[in-house]
Amino acid sequence: MVLVLLAVAGPPLAAQERPPVENRQPLLMEIAASINTYKTKTITLRLRLKQVDRIFEKIVFYDTKNHDIEFSISDRDLKKRLAADMLNVHQGLEYNVTFTVRDAGSAGNILADLKGFKPVILDALP
């Protein structure tokens, strides 16, 4: 279960462009930039589903700045845990994605283990 962040590093956001830290989630590039802070922590981010590749057993999400995060879903235990969630996945739908950060890759990507994902819309239902 390896997570790969595929993103082209752009210029850092100016202080005035960033909302206060208390009111927003970190971006994937911010996590990659300060990997020592997030290492071994379990994080839940609101991401959109980009694609599910059932042949190579990968699932890709993206954040608000269009940075991708790719998870391997080839592990047998993970497949069993995600089986119900995989039945109704839709591209472009927002999900609360939970993962544990392991380390940063040599290309500035994040290596992490997917724990699960749930549609954000379920939070709004009574």
Q: What DSSP string describes 16-68?
A: TTSPPGGGSPPPHHHHHHTHHHHTT-EEEEEEEEEEEETTTTEEEEE-TT--E
Helix (H, G, I), strand (E, B) or coil at 103: strand
Mean pLDDT of 50-73: 92
Q: What is the pLDDT of residue 122?
A: 85
Helix (H, G, I), strand (E, B) or coil at 84: helix
Position 7 confidence tier, pLDDT thresholds 50, 70, 90 = very low
Q: What is the pLDDT of residue 22?
A: 59
Statement: residue 17 has pLDDT above 60: no
Q: Residue type at 68?
A: D
3-124: CATH, from 2.40.50.140, 3.30.1330.90, 1.20.1440.120, 3.40.50.10330: 2.40.50.140
Q: pTM higher than 0.85 for the full model?
A: no
Backbone φ and ψ for 68, nearest 5 degrees, come out as -85, 150
Q: Which residue from 41, 38, 71 is spatially nearest to 57, judged by alpha carbons?
A: 71
The model's pLDDT over 69-119, given as tens digits with 9 standing for 90+, comes to: 889 999 999 999 999 989 989 999 999 999 999 888 877 778 889 999 999
Q: What is the pLDDT of residue 115?
A: 94
Enclosing H/E stretch for 102: strand 94-104
Q: What is the pLDDT of residue 100?
A: 93
